[in-house]
């Protein structure tokens, strides 16, 4: 089997989704860290012209984007795994839930990069609206979580919704962008999913460049 390299950050929720998939699918992989997110050279992002992570390297081939990477890895899994992908969600409620998870993840990147890395004013309308939409999405997900989970096929082994939801909530604890403890349903789900061996093996951490230890 050609070795898999995930180019990304151990501190990234988008990267963690791909790592969780690799772990759950039994695929060996290597993490190639991107240390500086202000870098503007596409070669640092495995030649992704969008300057985004994660990227999957499979030999000479590259795959851009979290969901694409998960699908590419599922194609290479040594055994068949029952995975629920977004297009298999049959209700509008379930589809809305997945959309709001992606929204929350993108909002956190927007806030963390904008205020933490770019040092822009946190009280700017751009970030205030992002936080308001983020909070609204979390409240909606917390209120509808049981219905959404119950709508998933009982025969599933994995679902992109559950893995992305877990990574998003865990990241709120890691980066503390917004308080999350008040969302009791989301917190109960997070604690339950965190007991999976794949979650324990992919805990968030900051990548330290060589020589900076």
Q: At what angle do helices 92-111 and 160-175 cross, to 10 degrees?
A: 30
Return the CATH number of 83-198, one of 2.40.110.10, 2.40.360.20, 1.20.1050.10, 1.10.10.10: 1.20.1050.10
Top-level class of domain 4-80:
alpha beta
Q: Where are the alpha helices (DSSP H) in the chain?
A: 13-25, 66-75, 92-111, 125-151, 160-175, 184-193, 197-200
Average pLDDT per 10 consecutive residues for the chain, totaling 213 residues? 89 98 97 96 97 96 98 95 96 97 97 94 96 98 98 96 98 95 98 98 96 76
87-93: long-range contacts, CB 8 A cutoff, minimum separation 24:
89/151, 89/161, 90/151, 91/151, 93/144, 93/147, 93/148, 93/151
pLDDT given for residue 1 in this prediction: 53
**pLDDT score, position 211:** 82
What values do phi and psi take at 204, rounded to 5? Answer: -60, 140
The sign of the dihedral angle between the CA atoms of 122, 123, 124, 126 is: positive
CATH 1.20.1050.10: which residues of the chain? 83-198
Domain with CATH 3.40.30.10 in the chain: 4-80
Token representation of residue 155: 């025969």
Rg (CA), the chain: 17
Gap between the Cα atoms of 206 and 169, Å rounded: 17
**Distance from C-alpha of 211 to C-alpha of 209, rounded to nearest angstrom:** 6
The 3-class secondary structure across 73-96, one letter per residue, is HHHCCCCCCCEECHHHCCCHHHHH
How, if at all, do strands 4-8 and 55-58 pair? antiparallel
Tell me, what's the pLDDT at 16? Answer: 98
């Amino acid at each position: 089997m050609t070795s898999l390299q995930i180019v990304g950050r151990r501190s990234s929720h988008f990267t963690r989704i791909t790592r969780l998939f690799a772990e759950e699918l039994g695929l060996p992989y290597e993490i190639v860290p991107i240390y500086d997110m202000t870098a503007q050279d596409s070669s640092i992002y495995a030649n992704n012209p969008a300057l985004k992570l994660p990227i999957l390297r499979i030999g000479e081939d590259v795959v851009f984007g979290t969901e694409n990477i998960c699908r590419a890895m599922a194609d290479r899994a040594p055994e068949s795994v029952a995975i629920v992908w977004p297009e298999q969600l049959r209700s509008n409620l379930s589809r809305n839930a997945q959309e709001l998870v992606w929204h929350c993840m993108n909002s956190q990147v927007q806030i963390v990069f904008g205020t933490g890395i770019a040092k822009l004013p946190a009280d700017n309308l751009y970030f205030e609206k992002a936080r308001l939409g983020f909070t609204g999405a979390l409240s909606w997900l917390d209120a509808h979580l049981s219905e959404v989970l119950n709508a998933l096929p009982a025969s599933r082994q994995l679902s992109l919704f559950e893995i992305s939801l877990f990574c998003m909530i865990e990241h709120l604890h890691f980066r503390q962008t917004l308080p999350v403890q008040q969302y009791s349903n989301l917190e109960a789900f997070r604690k339950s999913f965190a007991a999976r061996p794949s979650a324990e093996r992919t805990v968030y951490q900051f990548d330290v460049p060589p020589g900076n230890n």
